[in-house]
Amino acid sequence: MEILIRNKVIEAINTLYGQVVDENQVQVQTTRKEFAGDKTVVVFPFLRFSKKGAEQTADEIGKFLVESIEEISAFNIVKGFLNLSIDKAYWINQFNQAARAEKYGFIQPDANSEVVMIEYSSPNTNKPLHLGHIRNNLLGYSVSEIMEANGNKVVKTNIVNDRGIHICKSMLAWKKLGNGETPESSGKKGDHLVGEYYVKFDRLYKNEIVDLIATGMNEDEAKEKSPVIKEAREMLLLWEANDPETRDLWKMMNGWVYAGFDETYRTLGVDFDKIYYESDTYTVGRDEVLRGVKEGIFEQMDDTSVWANLENDGLDRKILLRSDGTSVYMTQDIGTAKIRYSDFPIDRMIYVVGNEQIYHFQVLSLLLDKLGYKWGKDLYHFSYGMVELPQGRMKSREGTVVDADDLVAGMIDVARKVSEELGKLDNYKDEEKERIYRIVALGALKYFILKVDPKKTMLFNPEESIDFNGNTGPFIQYTYARIQSILRKASEAGIDVPLQAKDLTINDKEAELIKILVSFPEIVKEAGANHSPALVANFVYELVKEFNQYYHEFTIMNEPDEKVRKFRLLLAKTIGQTISNGFSLLGIEVPERM
């Protein structure tokens, strides 16, 4: 309808004022709720053509549109805004399209679809996934689902940072303090166990710094000459030299972590099509950097370290290889990018990484371009804000992070407590209760995180997220379950839900519900263009809020008019399907009973 209105406005300007306007000059938007109408045309840009006042120009264009578009039943003018009312028959027709399509608003990929690779998660194998990783994984997975719903072929990928000084710190601490401890002997998840040794290394390191400062060193000297940090650096050199003992220890401890990660990913409901490992890609990146030295792109210093001078590009100098020959993150990312573009026919590459890495991706894009890769400047960094708890930011080294597993377990406990207090699951078997607690807990967690604009830093409050009222996952899940309950009662009563609505007049509330419902395809499109799950989340909430108001004002099963009753059942069913579709884009389950 917006396209039709835009085209007819262009025709109106030509007919009424003899001027040709570009479609970009025609602004058509949804009418604000406080005004009557469905679509609004902004008239101000056309005053220079009409040579008349805003209201007279709007009146002339409005009359032209009423005569030209049969679905427009009336119009009103508020200053320079032309508000158009669209006939209810049009909305019923749009509703029927939604009712017939199981995946209304989704575009199926085909042979000509763009290939979009989306990288998310990117964990380090020296610690378990934490709350910050949860936001990353949920955003990455949801953006992947949204991009696929927009007709793209999506490749979900992960780069595991499995090598480097931080990995050696956990390995060295285990070697010194572990006494052969394993996940099996301790009963701990492997990623949690390795993370504990990362914290233990930091304590050793800090204690040594204190002791060295007591001997007269300043803090910088103490940090540099700490015996344990020297050992960690030596271990990294041994690793890069393929020392068998070091490599065996690395493989064993990383194996523990991978098993732990896989369990957490399954719990969160996220997955990947391809996983890359820094230990495989950093050598490719190193070779690219050395090629850059030979070709005069990068500079090798007297201490053999390699740098990129980006000062002429408005940035600064960036180290690419250390003086001891070891690689940095940038080196690995260069290698990973090259391998990925060899593995897949990528049209777009999206990195889901926090906003503290904005500079890193500016540099990566520039370096790849300088190395001759035409796709270098096309890389897109989907930057998002950090997640904080009421007590502030988290620090892995100090062991103050909130582990993802602990958080999910805590969320399930909160869901159990709230559900028991409300008595919502009193008649359910224990096994069914626990399944619903998990669905509600994860729904609350995911929705609370994804409803926020990704660019914003957010404060996560577990108690606030699990509320069966307001803008929360459980409120939406409960509404979906209520709709399924209505449909089951209709089935038990032998009432068939029709496939489409016809030959009836809908009330204003039903028209408003349908208008929201049929805007879903545009929301999916906009969410894809802006990489924003928040747009989907808040659309679903608005739809659910409107349905609950409708449900309280109008009866469905007890409606005496059979035709109206069946329409309302179809309306509820279609809204339920749209809730399910919207939540699927967020990676959230909806329970059939609750």
Is the same domain home to 346 and 475? no
* The predicted structure's pLDDT at residue 505: 87
Does residue 399 lie in a domain region? no
Is the same domain home to 298 and 248? yes
* The predicted structure's pLDDT at residue 401: 62
Does residue 102 lie in a domain region? no
* The predicted structure's pLDDT at residue 398: 45
* The predicted structure's pLDDT at residue 387: 83
Per-residue H/E/C for 391-444: CECCCCCCCCCCEHHHHHHHHHHHHHHHHHHHCCCCCCCHHHHHHHHHHHHHHH
Q: What is the CATH number of the domain that holds 466?
A: 1.10.730.10
* The predicted structure's pLDDT at residue 394: 40
Does residue 591 lie in a domain region? no
Is the same domain home to 205 and 321? yes
Does residue 552 lie in a domain region? yes
Is the same domain home to 270 and 141? yes
User: Residue 254 corresponds to which amino acid?
Assistant: N
Q: Which one, of 577, 582, 555, 569, lies nearest residue 489 by Cα?
A: 569
Whether the CB-CB separation of 350 and 120 falls below 8 Å is answered with no
Does residue 260 lie in a domain region? yes
Last residue of a domain, one of 336, 354, 388: 388
Q: What is the mean pLDDT of each run of 10 residues along the chain (594 residues)?
A: 93 95 91 91 94 95 95 93 93 95 94 96 93 94 98 97 94 96 97 96 96 94 95 94 97 97 96 96 95 96 95 94 88 95 96 94 96 93 86 46 85 86 80 92 94 90 77 94 96 93 89 95 96 97 97 95 95 98 98 88
Quote the tokens at residue 536. 């989907």
Q: How many beta carbons lie within 10 A of that of residue 32, not counting itself? A: 11
Is the same domain home to 377 and 415? no
Last residue of a domain, one of 321, 355, 388: 388
Is the same domain home to 216 and 355? yes
Is the same domain home to 477 and 415? yes
Is the same domain home to 309 and 359? yes
Does residue 104 lie in a domain region? no
* The predicted structure's pLDDT at residue 222: 95
Last residue of a domain, one of 388, 417, 452: 388
Is the same domain home to 435 and 339? no
Is the same domain home to 237 and 192? yes
Is the same domain home to 140 and 34? no
* The predicted structure's pLDDT at residue 393: 47
User: Residue 19 corresponds to which amino acid?
Assistant: Q
Angle formed at CA 414 by CA 411 and CA 419, multiple of 5 degrees: 125
Q: What is the CATH number of the domain that holds 39?
A: 3.30.1360.70
Does residue 397 lie in a domain region? no
Does residue 144 lie in a domain region? yes
Q: Which one, of 265, 586, 544, lies nearest residue 454 by Cα?
A: 586
Q: What is the CATH number of the domain that holds 158?
A: 3.40.50.620
Q: What's the total number of domains in the chain? A: 3
Range of the domain at 79: 2-86
* The predicted structure's pLDDT at residue 391: 60
Whether the CB-CB separation of 550 and 169 falls below 8 Å is answered with no
DSSP 302: T
Is the same domain home to 372 and 277? yes
